[in-house]
Amino acid sequence: MEKAPSLKHKEEFRKLLAKYHPNEAAQQLFQKLNFVVLSGVTGGGRNTVMYRLVERDNYYFIVSDTTRPPKVRDGKLEEDGVQYWFRTEEEILADVRAGNYLEAELIHDQQVSGVSLRELEKALQSGRIAIDEAEYGGVNNIARANPHAYIIGLLPPSFDEWQRRLDKREAVTMGEYANRMRTAKKVIENMLERPYFHIVLNDSIDEAAEDIKAVVAGTYPPAKNSYSRQVAEEILVEVKDKLVRLETGSNANAHVA
């Protein structure tokens, strides 16, 4: 069972990120980019869908920095520069102080990840549409920095299907599972509350990728977005119910993903 990483400088990160602003160079670069950002729950398939778009279409995957160590995914250890840039706390802390991230965030209260100025430069040079994922705070920062960015909430097609995918993904402690449910609550509430979100359901990778392309092209059907919002509301109800049962101890045999 996977042990959650810990941060030595958590409180310093928390203080810096609470009032974080990117430096002028990062802001200017971002304004020049076509940028798509995905927000979603753990196990919702954000990376898989992004890889499909990068593989088949005119998209550039922004490789975020993170303080967490590589994980085993699908039987293979993550690689530096592929899924993430795995950097030390001290390296990321220095760049946060210098404003060298477009956005950076404390995730699950145990790791810091962010979009670096280095990656923005690479994306611009590629001439392609930049795509990345971010948590709820980072997404909101990106929307404020560039109102023309495409902000997309990506979710599984149902709560039960999401839990099944989590089961297959990795084993975590009950405490970590509860932590992820708390984060999911914030993520889904955020995408339902913010008017700039388009919500896409990841029932199949290809269909989700096509829906994201439709959002960018301005052809995503309003009816489909409305249905996806309804599903998001239903998942949120299930998440809140799960949290109540976990926190009151009435679900002793609660799901561990």
The string of DSSP letters for 62-94 reads ---EESSPP-EETTEE--BTTTBEE--HHHHHH
CA–CA distances in Å: residue 62 to residues 11, 37, 38: 27, 10, 12
pLDDT band for position 254 (cuts 50, 70, 90): very low
pLDDT band for position 257 (cuts 50, 70, 90): very low
Q: Please report whether residue 256 resides in a domain.
A: no
Whether residue 253 is predicted with pLDDT greater than 90 in this model: the reply is: no
pLDDT (tens digit per residue) in 183-229: 999 999 999 999 999 999 999 999 999 999 999 999 999 999 999 99
Q: Please report whether residue 170 resides in a domain.
A: yes
Q: Please report whether residue 2 resides in a domain.
A: no
Q: Please report whether residue 172 resides in a domain.
A: yes
pLDDT at 250: 62
Whether residue 52 is predicted with pLDDT greater than 70 in this model: the reply is: yes
Domain count, the chain: 1
How deeply is 144 buried, as exposed, middle or buried, from its count of CB atoms within 10 A (0-12, 13-18, 19+)? exposed
Query: CA-to-CA distance for 10 and 220, rounded, in angstroms?
Result: 40
* Cα–Cα nearest to 176, from 252, 253, 256: 256
pLDDT at 4: 54
Look-up of token digits 């220095």 = 94
Query: Furthest-apart CA pair in the chain: how many Å?
Result: 54
CATH number at residue 61: 3.40.50.300
Query: CA-to-CA distance for 91 and 96, rounded, in angstroms?
Result: 9
pTM: 0.83
Q: Which positions ≥6 away from 75 have C-beta within 8 Å?
A: none
Q: Please report whether residue 199 resides in a domain.
A: yes
- How big is the chain by its Cα radius of gyration, in Å? 18
pLDDT (tens digit per residue) in 99-151: 999 989 898 788 999 999 999 999 999 999 999 988 888 888 889 888 899 99
Whether residue 256 is predicted with pLDDT greater than 50 in this model: the reply is: no
Span of 3-12, 16-25, 59-68, 74-83 with lowest mean pLDDT = 3-12
Give the three-class secondary structure for 204: coil
Pairing mode of beta strands 59-61, 129-133 = parallel
Domain of 119? 10-248
pLDDT at 1: 45
Q: Please report whether residue 27 resides in a domain.
A: yes
